[in-house]
Structure 1
Amino acid sequence: MAIPTDFLHLLRLYSVRQNSPNVVIPDFADYLDKFARLHLQEAPGLEPFVGISPAETASRLRKLAAEEECGLAVSKDLRNRDMVFVPQFYLDRFRLFYKNILQNPEVPFPAYIELPRAFPRSLIREVSVEANFSEFAEETAEPSSAADCLIKIEFGASVPPLVFPDSLSPQKLLSLALDKIRLFLRKDESRDFICKRMMAVNPGKENAVREFVARFQSSPEKSAEIMQEGGDAYLFYNYLCAFIKQYILKKEEKT
C-alpha cells in the first residue's frame, strides 16, 4: 500500500486515528513531522513535513479552508488552542458504519442526526425520492474507495432521511436494504403478519403471495430481479414495503 503524502489525506487519517473531528493543530504538526521522518525514504513527497511547525501547519490549514470546498474550519478551543474541524472524519465514520452493515445486516443504518450542525452542506448531496431518485439510481459510474461526500436521500416527512457515503454505489445500497427486509421476514411473527396483510388485499392470490415471499427470502442474489419483473411481483413488493413500514411505526408507537 502506497504511503500517503497529501496534506489533507494525512489530516483525515489523523482525525480517524484520534477518533474525533476536532484536531489540535500543534498535535497534528507533531504527527506530521514524526510520520514524515518515519516514511521519508519510502515516500520522498513527505519531505515538506519534516520539522513542520504548528504555525506553518495552521497556515496550510487556513489556506485549505479558504480555497477549497473541503469544509475545514480553523478556530480556538476554550483552552485557547488552535483547532481544526475535519468533516471528512464523518465521511470515514459513515463508510465504516456501512462496512459493518455489509458484514452484519442487523446493524442499523446510521441516522442523519448523527452529523453535527457544523457539518458543511458542500459535502452533502441531496437526493429526493420523489424528484430525482430514479436518475441517481441509474448512475453507473464506479464510486471511489474513499468517500468524497455523503448522499442524503429524502423520503418525505414521515420517514427520516437515509445518509450514506458516495463510495457506496446505489446498487450496493439497494442490496443492503433488501438484506434488511429479508432479516425482518426471518422472524415467524413478522413474516406471518406481513403475509396475512398482503393476502387480505390480494384475495384469490394467497398462493402467489406465499410464493413471492418465499422467493424473496430464498434468492438474495435475485431479489432485485424479482422486483423488476412487473405484474404481481411489482405489486407484491410495494405492499410488502408498505406493510413493513406500518408494522415498524406501530411498534415504535408502543415503545
Structure 2
Amino acid sequence: MSCTGSPHHLDQLAANGLREVAFGIESGGKRMLAHIDKRITPAMVRSVVRRLTERGIADKGYFILGLPIETRAEPAHTVPQGSTERSRQRPRERAAMPTETIFPEYNRFLIGPPGCMPGSADPPAANGLAEAARDPAGAALIDTGVKDDPITVTAELADRQPAVDAEAWEDIVVIGIDWTGGPMQVVGADDTVAPSLMTFTPDLPPGRMMILVAARNRDYGEARGDDEPTEEYLLIAWPGDEPDQAIKQESLHGADIRQDRQEQDALVAEGKGP
C-alpha cells in the first residue's frame, strides 16, 4: 500500500472488508531507515497508522533489531515505534478477538452475562440464525447445525457496526439485545470436560447492544465427516439501537430453521402451541 494512498481509496478498502495491513517498517530510527534505503520516515509510518485507525483497520508492523552499524541506543527508537506508538494508535474498537472451541447445548449456544446458564426453551430463531432470547432475558440465542459436537467461535467488541466479508460466510444477521450489564460471555454446554465458556468483552454497563452473527458450514450438521469443515461463527458486539437485519441467508439449515419457526408461530396463533 502506498503511504500516499488517497483517503477515498482507503475508504473503499475499508468498505470492502479490509481488516488489517502488515508493514515491513524495519526500524523506528531515521538514520537506520536511511541506511537501508527504506525511503520512509517515522512520521510517515505514524501518519499511515493514524489513517488506518480512523477507518477501523488494524495494523501490524515488522521490525529488525541489531541491524549493521546500529548502536546500542538506537533500538530505543524502534521499541516505542512498535509498542507504545502502536498501542496508542490501535483502533479502540478492536478489542481482544478470542477464538475458542465451544460445545453447543442441543443445537444452540448463547451470548449472556456471567452466571447465564446454557440452553433455552425459546423457539428457533425467526431469521434462521440468531435472535434476542426471551429466556434467559438479556441474552442472545444462536442456532447451530450440530447438536453437541464442537464448533469454532470467534468474538470481539467493537464501537460501531463493522465491515464483514460477506463472501466468506453463508449466513449473517444483526440483532439487538437489552444487555443487563457485566462482561459478555459465549455460553455452551456445561457438561463437557472443559467448560464451554468464553468471555470476550470487559465489564459493560446495562444498555442496548447490537450483535452481528455470521456462520458457515452449518449444513453438514450431525452428518459431518472427519474430513469436512467444522462449523464456524463470528460474533461482533457494539453499543447501539438499530433495527434487526438479515444480511445474508444462504444455508439450507437456516432455511429449515425459518420454516420450523413459521410453523411454530402458526400453531401459537391458532392456540395450539405453547
- Please indicate, yes or no, whether the TM-score normalized by the shorter chain is above 0.5: no
Tell me the TM-score normalised to structure 1 length. Answer: 0.29
Query: Would you tell me which structure has more strand in proportion to its own residues?
Result: 2
Query: Would you tell me which structure has more helix in proportion to its own residues?
Result: 1
- Higher relative contact order by CA 8 Å / sep ≥ 6: 1 or 2? 2
Tell me the TM-score normalised to structure 2 length. Answer: 0.28
